[in-house]
Amino acid sequence: MKRVMPEPYKIKSVEMLNILTEEEREVAIKEAGYNTFLLNSEDIYIDLLTDSGTSAMSDEQWAGMMRGDEAYAGSKNFFRLDKTVRELFGFKYMVPTHQGRGAENILSTICIKEGDYVPGNMYFTTTRFHQEINGANFVDIICDEAHQPSRDDVPFKGNVDLDKLQVLIDEVGADKIPYICVAVTVNMAGGQPVSMANLRAVYELAQKYEIKVMFDATRCVENACFIKDREEGYKNKTIKEIVFEMFSYGDGCTMSGKKDCLTNVGGFLCLNDEELFSKAKELVVVYEGMPSYGGMSGRDMEAMAIGMEESVQYPYIKHRLTQVEYLGQRLIDAGVPVVKPIGGHAVYLDARAFLSNIDQEQFPAQALAAAIYKDSGVRTMERGIVSAGRDKVTGENHKPKLELVRLTIPRRVYTYAHLDYVADSIIDLYNKRETIKPLEFVYEPKQLRFFTSKFQEIS
Ligand code: P71
C-alpha cells in the first residue's frame, strides 16, 4: 500500500470548534436566507467557504508580526516585502494594496479606456467587476475543455485558447485590448492550472501585437506545483524557479495575498512599466494608503514576506495539493459528480449533475451549499448562476455552463481526518439528494449579489 504522508507540520495552538445540532443549523441557514456567506462563523463546524485569508500562519510568521514597524511611511517591513516579491516574481515594481481587489481596481483604472476589451482565461467576480466598471468588455478566451466538468484527460484545463485570442484581436484590433488577464490557477474553472508552454505562447502572441499580459497571480504557487508534477521538463526544477519563469511571460500582476502568500489579509500590484508604476502610485494613495503600506500594517507585510518564502517550499505545496486531491478522490470513488481533474485549492461539486431535477434558474448550487450546511455543519460556497450575476446590458442572468459548489481547503488548517468527515457527509447527502429543494430570491442586491442575497425554499 502507498503510504499517505501526514501533514508536514505539527500543531502548536488550537482553536476549538463548535458543533450545533441539525435542528439549530436548520434555523441558522433559514435566517441566513440560504446564503452561506450570511452564516455566523461560530455556527460552523468545518469552514470550507474559502481559502482566502483563512490560512494558519507559522510560528515564524507570528514571530515576524512582533517585528512590525508601524511607521506611517517607509516601514522596514515594506522594504522586505518589496524585495521578496521582486526576487520571487521578477517584476520591477510593486505597489502594496489592502487585498487583491485593491490591486485590480488600480490596474483596471490605469489601463482601461471606455469600450476596450479585456480577454481572460475565464472571469473572476471582482476582477471582471473592476474591468467592466472602467468601461471594458470582458471576453472569455479559456479553452473549451474548461467548461466541461467531467473531462479529466486535460492536465491544464486553465489554458488560454490561442485561436480565441487571435479571433478577438482580428475582430476588435489590438489597440482596443489594453492587456490580457491570465489567471494562474483558474478559480472559477475549478482551480485548474495553466501550462508553461501556454503562458509562453500567450506572451509571444501578445508581444507580436504589443498587448500587455497581466497575471492574476493569486494562486501562482499552486500552478507552479502542477507544472512541476505534470509538464515535461519541470520535474527537477524548484517551485521558486517555476514561479519565476511563469512571470517572465508577462508585464505585471495583481495578487491577493490572502491565498498563496499564507496571510490573512493583504495584496499587491506588480508592474514592469515605469510610467504605469507612477500612475499606480498616484492612485494607491487615494484608495489604499501610502505606497509603502497600501492598507497593510507593518506586521502584515512582514508576515506576508515570510509566508511567500514558506509557500514556495515543496513539502508545503505538495502536501496542500495532495490534501485537496485526497478529498476529491474520496468523492469520485463514491460516484459523487465533481469537476475533474481536481484543482489546486478546492474540490468543486457539479451541482447540475448532483441535482439534475433542479432548473439552473432555481439555483441548484445555492440550494446544495445550503443543504450541505444543514446536514453536516460544513460551509461551502456557490459558484454558479448566483455568482455570475446579470448581464450589464440586457439585465438577464448570466447562465454559466458551470454550476458548482466549492469545497475550499484553507491552507495548513485542517487534517485528513476533517476531510474524511467532509467526504462522508457529502456522500451521505448525495444518497438522499432528492430531499433538497430549489430556491427563489427574496432579496437581490445589484452588485456582486452572491455576497448578500437572500433566498427561500420553493416547496
Ligand atoms: C475566493 C476569493 C475571495 C472571494 C472574492 C469574491 C467572492 C467570494 C470570495 C478572491 C480572488 C480570486 C482571484 C482568482 C482575485 C481575487 C480577489 N477570491 N482573483 O476565492 O480568487 O482577491 O479577495 O483579496 O480581494 O474565495 P481579494
Closest atom, ligand 1, to C-alpha of 256: 24
The arithmetic mean of pLDDT across residues 153-171, rounded, is 98
Task: Give the end-to-end CA distance of the chain in Å, rounded to a whole number.
Answer: 48
Partner residues linked to 119 by β-bridges = 139
- Residue of 9, 72, 443, 451 with catalytic role: 72
Three-state DSSP string of 99-111: CHHHHHHHHHHHH
Say how many C-beta atoms besides its own lie within 10 A of residue 220's C-beta.
29
Closest atom, ligand 1, to C-alpha of 125: 6
Distance CA 112, CA 357 (A): 42
Residue 219 designated active-site: no
Residue 124 designated active-site: yes
Distance CA 151, CA 298 (A): 45
Q: How far is the CA of 417 from the centre of ligand 1 (A)?
A: 27
Cell of 103: 490591486
- Residue of 45, 215, 373, 450 with catalytic role: 450
The helix/strand/coil state of 118 is strand
With residues binned 3-state (H G I as helix, E B as strand, rest as coil), the percentages for the chain, rounded to 5, are 45, 15, 40
Closest atom, ligand 1, to C-alpha of 49: 26
State residue 270's pLDDT score.
Answer: 99
Residue 416 designated active-site: no
Q: How far is the CA of 126 from the centre of ligand 1 (A)?
A: 7
Ligand 1 site residues (CB inside 6 A) read 50, 52, 99-101, 124-127, 183, 187, 216, 218, 256, 258, 267
Distance CA 17, CA 228 (A): 36
Q: How confident is the model at residue 171 (pLDDT cuts 50, 70, 90)?
A: very high
Q: How far is the CA of 279 from the centre of ligand 1 (A)?
A: 24
Which residues lie below 8 Å from residue 173, measured CB to CB, with a gap of 6+?
A: none
- Residue of 45, 78, 91, 124 with catalytic role: 124
Q: What is the mean pLDDT of the chain?
A: 97
Helix ranges (DSSP H) in 334-455: 351-354, 364-376, 385-388, 416-431
Dump the DSSP string for 151-204. --S-TTTT-B-HHHHHHHHHHH-GGG--EEEEESSBGGGTSB---HHHHHHHHH
- Residue of 259, 330, 352, 412 with catalytic role: 259
Q: Whose CA is nearest to atom 5 of ligand 1?
A: 126
Whether the per-residue pLDDT at 303 is higher than 80: the answer is yes
Q: How far is the CA of 188 from the centre of ligand 1 (A)?
A: 10
Whether the per-residue pLDDT at 4 is higher than 90: the answer is no
Dump the DSSP string for 246-271. HHHTSSEEEEETTSTT--SS-EEEEE
The arithmetic mean of pLDDT across residues 334-357, rounded, is 97
Partner residues linked to 348 by β-bridges = 406
Task: Dump pLDDT digits (tens) for 120-152.
Answer: 999 999 999 999 999 999 999 999 999 999 999
Which residues lie below 8 Å from residue 297, measured CB to CB, with a gap of 6+?
A: 68, 70
The helix/strand/coil state of 4 is coil
- Residue of 47, 161, 216, 350 with catalytic role: 216
Task: Dump pLDDT digits (tens) for 107-119.
Answer: 999 999 999 999 9
Helix axes 76-89, 298-311, angle to 10 degrees: 30
Nearest to 123 by CA among 382, 388, 347: 388
State residue 75's pLDDT score.
Answer: 98
Query: Residue 348 is inside which H or E element, if any?
Result: strand 346-350
Buried b (16+ CB within 10 A) or exposed e, 304-317: bbbbbbbbbeeebb
Q: Whose CA is nearest to atom 9 of ligand 1?
A: 50
Task: Dump pLDDT digits (tens) for 240-290.
Answer: 999 999 999 999 999 999 999 999 999 999 999 999 999 999 999 999 999
The residue whose CB lies within 8 Å of the most ligand 1 atoms, and thus the one to mutate among 47, 48, 49, 124, is: 124
Distance CA 37, CA 48 (A): 11
Distance CA 57, CA 330 (A): 28
Query: Residue 140 is inside which H or E element, if any?
Result: strand 137-140
Q: Whose CA is nearest to atom 4 of ligand 1?
A: 52
Residue 200 designated active-site: no
Closest atom, ligand 1, to C-alpha of 257: 24
State residue 96's pLDDT score.
Answer: 98
pTM equals 0.96
Distance CA 268, CA 86 (A): 11
Question: For a pLDDT cut of 90, what percent of the chain falls above it?
Answer: 97
Cell of 316: 508545503
Residue 72 designated active-site: yes
The arithmetic mean of pLDDT across residues 391-405, rounded, is 92
Distance CA 217, CA 397 (A): 29
Q: Are strands 378-379 and 137-140 parallel, antiparallel or unpaired?
A: unpaired
The arithmetic mean of pLDDT across residues 12-25, rounded, is 96
The arithmetic mean of pLDDT across residues 64-86, rounded, is 98
- Residue of 125, 218, 263, 380 with catalytic role: 125
The residue whose CB lies within 8 Å of the most ligand 1 atoms, and thus the one to mutate among 106, 122, 218, is: 218
Cell of 432: 438522499
- Classify residue 151 by burial, with Cβ atoms within 10 Å: 0-12, 13-18, 19+: middle
State residue 1's pLDDT score.
Answer: 66
Q: Whose CA is nearest to atom 13 of ligand 1?
A: 218
